[in-house]
Amino acid sequence: MSASLKSGQADESSQTGPSTESFSASRWTKGNFIFPTRIVVTPQRVSRVKSRLFGSNDESIAIPQVASVQIATGILWSEIRIDSTGGTNPITSHGHRKRDAIRIRELIELHQAQSAGNVRQPAS
| Residue 13, pLDDT score | 36
Per-residue confidence band for 30, with pLDDT thresholds at 50, 70 and 90? confident
Burial 51-86 (b: 16+ CB within 10 A, else e): eeeeeeeebbbebebbeebebeeeeebbbbebbbee
Helix (H, G, I), strand (E, B) or coil at 27: coil
H or E stretch including 33?
Answer: none
| Residue 15, pLDDT score | 41
Greater confidence (10 vs 80) lies with: 80
Contacts of 56 (CB under 8 A, 6+ apart): 49, 50
Per-residue confidence band for 69, with pLDDT thresholds at 50, 70 and 90? very high
H or E stretch including 68?
Answer: strand 66-73
Is domain 9-115 annotated with CATH 3.30.565.10?
no
Q: How far apart are CA 84 and CA 100, in angstroms?
A: 20
